[in-house]
Amino acid sequence: MARQLILNELEMDMLREVGSIGASHATNSLAEMTGTKVSIEVPALEIRPVEQLISREGGEELVAGVYVELEGDVNGVIVLMLDIASALQLVEQITGMPPAGEELTEMEVSVLQEVGNIMASHFSNALADFLGMKIMPMPPALAVDMAAALLDFIMLEQACKTGDAILFKTRFIFQPRQISGNIFLMPDPESLDRIVTMLREKVGLGA
Amino acid sequence: MPPVIVVDIADVKAATEPARLVSIGLGSCVGVALFDSKKKVGSLAHIMLPFSRGSEPVDNRAKYADTAIPLAIEKMEKLGANRSRLIAKIAGGAKMFSFIPKDDYIGRKNVHAVREVLRREDIRIVAEDTGGSVGRTVEFDTSSGTMLVKTARLGVRKL
């Protein structure tokens, strides 16, 4: 199944649009949850050797990552990633309670998992509706560790077959405290093929 | 302090003393340090995947356990190391999200592959810190042969 993923400009544009629809639904759900404003940057879509993405996106800094696997017509993962300070601020914004310390408490962990769960569900529902596909998010898992270590796990699990990772990355900024984070969508290569085929049918280009 | 040589993901570096070979943030990846204590030659491989298996030609030998370890040995021999004297220390191969119900995660496959390839090359593993759910930064000192394994929340371990 190992083959090069080569997409043309139109396909890349359509995919970016899909990523953008998913990311805006995800961040809107965060805005509703917190009763404030969340803005997103233009999503980036990259398909490149997995080692290049890992070494560029991750360092030794401590981050919180919420990992949600996708099953159904799209296999892959949605990950919410925040540096640890932003993660604590976000929890405080939602619960109204200041952080207990530098380590996450059980309550803070479950709040973050729920945030990741809600964002991933909105993201995947928006994709599923738009594409007419069935996508089911699995229960969320949270880890707090070095960014590079989390990303190497996440990306290698998705890209181990072809060596190429497919990354939709959207940075969001959460008002009023300017808390920023990233939401990643990483479909596996076969799923990306299915998405592209659906998109081509949608715009009347056939399979 | 000896100079730091960074070994990025899917890379192999070898050096004589004094040097510190460093790989940052190993998750599923495995850091394999080889050492010839007589010649004070060391190497560090930042291995990403278990086997190159038929994906010929191999795009980058440093990426896979079965090609990165022979590559490390070649690089060390060029610096005067003797393969019969080499010992290994390994770290990494974690499952970063502990609650994911998955037993065949890449980290475990990587560790198994590294052990198998080292056995095939007849190199003994003298110390190991693998598995679990923790990210590791490794620092290998080519003078002492010491490998420091640093974690974000569980402190530093000396191998």
Mutation to test the A interface, candidates B4, B6, B7, B9, most A Cβ within 10 Å? B9
What is the average pLDDT score of chain B? 93
How many structural domains are present in chain B?
1
CATH number for A33: 3.40.1550.10
Q: Decide if B96 and A154 are in contact by the 8 Å CB cutoff.
A: yes
pLDDT of residue B71: 97
Looking at the domain assignment, is residue A3 inside a domain? Answer: no
Q: Which residues of A touch B100 (CB under 8 A)?
A: 67, 69, 141
Looking at the domain assignment, is residue A19 inside a domain? Answer: yes
pLDDT band (50, 70, 90) for residue A1: very low
Q: Which residue has the higher pLDDT, A180 or B151?
A: B151
Domain, as residue range, for B35? 4-158
Surface-to-core class of residue A134, CB atoms within 10 Å of its CB (0-12 exposed, 13-18 middle, 19+ buried): exposed
Q: Decide if B48 and A156 are in contact by the 8 Å CB cutoff.
A: yes
Torsion angle (degrees, nearest 10) of CA A61, A146, B71, B16: 50
Taking each helix axis from N to C end, the angle separating A189-202 and A106-131, rounded to the nearest 10 degrees, works out to 40
pLDDT of residue B146: 97
Residue A199: what are its φ and ψ, rounded to 5°?
-65, -40
CATH number for B86: 3.30.1330.200
Looking at the domain assignment, is residue A2 inside a domain? Answer: no
CB pairs under 8 A between A and B: 99
Q: Decide if A145 and B153 are in contact by the 8 Å CB cutoff.
A: yes
Looking at the domain assignment, is residue A88 inside a domain? Answer: yes
Share above pLDDT 70 across residues of chain A, in percent, rounded to a whole number? 94
Looking at the domain assignment, is residue A177 inside a domain? Answer: yes
pLDDT of residue A207: 47
β-pair type (A44-49, B30-36): unpaired
Looking at the domain assignment, is residue A96 inside a domain? Answer: yes
pLDDT band (50, 70, 90) for residue A165: confident
Looking at the domain assignment, is residue A4 inside a domain? Answer: no
How many structural domains are present in chain A?
1
pLDDT of residue A97: 84
What are B76-95's pLDDT values in tens digits? Answer: 999 999 999 999 999 999 99
What are B90-123's pLDDT values in tens digits? Answer: 999 999 998 777 788 999 999 999 999 999 999 9
pLDDT of residue A19: 86
Domain, as residue range, for A100? 9-202
* Lowest mean per-residue pLDDT among A36-50, A125-139, B141-155: A36-50
Looking at the domain assignment, is residue A78 inside a domain? Answer: yes
Distance from CA of A38 to the nearest CA of B (A): 27
Confidence check: pLDDT of A202 > 90: no
pLDDT of residue A5: 60
Place of tokens 């939709």: A168
What are A108-130's pLDDT values in tens digits? Answer: 999 999 999 998 999 999 889 88
What are A24-46's pLDDT values in tens digits? Answer: 888 888 888 888 888 888 788 88
Give the C-alpha distances (Å, rounded to integers) separating A137 from A33, A74, A143, A158, B67: 19, 10, 18, 15, 37
pLDDT of residue A2: 40
Among chain B, residues having any CB pair with chain A shorter than 8 Å are: 8-10, 24-29, 48-49, 55, 59-60, 63, 94-100, 105-107, 133-137, 152-153
Q: Decide if A153 and B94 are in contact by the 8 Å CB cutoff.
A: yes
Name the catalytic one among B10, B19, B22, B29.
B29
* Lowest mean per-residue pLDDT among A44-53, A98-107, B8-17, B149-158: A98-107
b/e sequence B73-95, b meaning 16+ C-beta within 10 Å? bebbeebebeeeebbbbbbbbbb
Distance from CA of B3 to the nearest CA of A (A): 19
Q: Decide if B24 and A141 are in contact by the 8 Å CB cutoff.
A: no
Other Cβ atoms less than 10 A from the Cβ of A138: the count is 16
ipTM of the complex model: 0.92
What is the average pLDDT score of chain A? 86
Helix (H) or strand (E) holding A130, with range, is: helix A106-131
Residue B29 among the catalytic residues: yes
